[in-house]
Chains A and B, each alone.
Chain A
Amino acid sequence: MKTVKILHLYSQAMDLYGDYNNITVLCQRIKETGNDVEVTAPGLYEPIELDGYDMVYIGHGKARNLAAISEHFVSHADIIKEAIENGQVWYASGNSRELFGESFTSPDGKEHEGIGLFDYRGVETNQVFVCDMIGRPDYDKDEIVYGFANRTAYLEGKNKYPLFDVITGFSDGSAPNGLEGTHYKNFFGTWGIGPVLVRNPSFMKHILKLLLGDDYKECDFTLEQNALDLVIAEFKDKKD
């Protein structure tokens, strides 16, 4: 039995659209495999300590909150980049992905630094953009994942490490370009907000596999797979 240690960064500031339920359900799944899990949510602006954690999670937040926490995050750039290069599992949803690029703009037009792990740049529009997406994940091109974006920013620049080949729907950029998300080593980023891991069994299984090897086979994903199949079928109905 293993105790999986998860670090949930900026849980107070980056907390839109029920995102934390990805962690809640991931914990439920880990327990179903017979293993244990501990989630740590440090206080706002406390120093970030990454050693000893199996996974780090950051959710989607209000644009002004993102700008407010970015300086603190970037002050830890060296240890964050080192941890990701060394294969720590990271999951960044929505606009938190902007922190990992070169820079991003906030609603007041100011430019903020990112940690520069990826060479994209975040652009704030102050306009709400919502869109569905289904795409094939790079970890298994036979699978289809559903995501929903609800954002006011987009990423500019070439997507060198895409997570999804988009079948239909949003991309990282201001216009669809067939690619969405980031998958680099064990870092996963997507504009999909809310229960992405909960609603996509293949994605949940992939994360569980990285954390616990084959133990994920203990979990039953029948309901989740049936629900996802219905969603995907609705896209097909629309096309016909």
Chain B
Amino acid sequence: MAEVLVLVDHVDGSVRKPTLELLTLARRIGDPVAVHLGPGADEAASVLAEYGATRVLVADAPEFADYLVVPKVDAVEAAVAAVSPAAVLVPSSSDGKEIAARLALRLESGLITDAVDLTAGDEGPVATQSVFAAGFTTRSRITRGTPVITVKPNSTSPEAAPAAGAVEQLEVAFGELATGTTVVSRTPRASTGRPELTEAAIVVSGGRGVNGAENFALIEALADSLGAAVGASRAAVDAGWYPHASQVGQTGKTVSPQLYVAAGISGAIQHRAGMQTSKTIVAVNKDSEAPIFELVDFGVVGDLFTVVPALTDEVKNRKG
């Protein structure tokens, strides 16, 4: 059976959930071969094997952390040369998309970004994309070279399928472009203690209607009662009420949770671009004409300062 390369997204060996989704999707096309770059390969390998990696190609070098993107392109290029895969799947993170793009160019292969689904086809993998602020769904295929496809978080649910996961050393020779951009320092994002926004099953977001940084405590309390991640509209982020890392929308994160709760958000096209594919959408807004109500499965026209705390209390009651 053909092999499919999956680039592993991890933090010091702790594998992030989108990688498990990629391994699950990869099995529809062939045998997944994971590429693990940087530290923690031993810890990662067992998880990767559990989710179907037949082999785990590993390389660790200071270059991966000290320089931006290009060393990883060199490594994945080496992995492609070693494996001759039927496709290369990369998580749709900012690093991931840039790695995939440069790799595709080197391989003289087509590139598809931000796939939300992937199936095997007679002429190679077929990727589903959600485009124009989720107004259209397209299906695309790569017509030349080794398909390079980046896949968005939450594209499928990870399914375990234990495989050998044999760890093999990958030889990487860094090219002259590898050391072009120095990472002078790196500050890890402080953990919020809540689920990762792009991976969460439930997201509770606040917008301009929240009217102040201190009032985001209401949004956080609701999120915590539901075990949800917290998001924000750009209006709330631009006002300095909530960090940009939590922005949902075209220039923030795309989320596709089971449940999206929008409080004090009007539902502008750029916000919708980041949440429209959520399975269930509910909203609280005091304006019955707000466009967000066109999207909702359930909406409450009302003041979020009374509705949200009442909802939080009721959730807590019901959960006991």
Instruction: Say if A and B assemble together.
Output: no
Seen from chain A, the residues whose Cβ lies within 8 Å of a Cβ on chain B are none
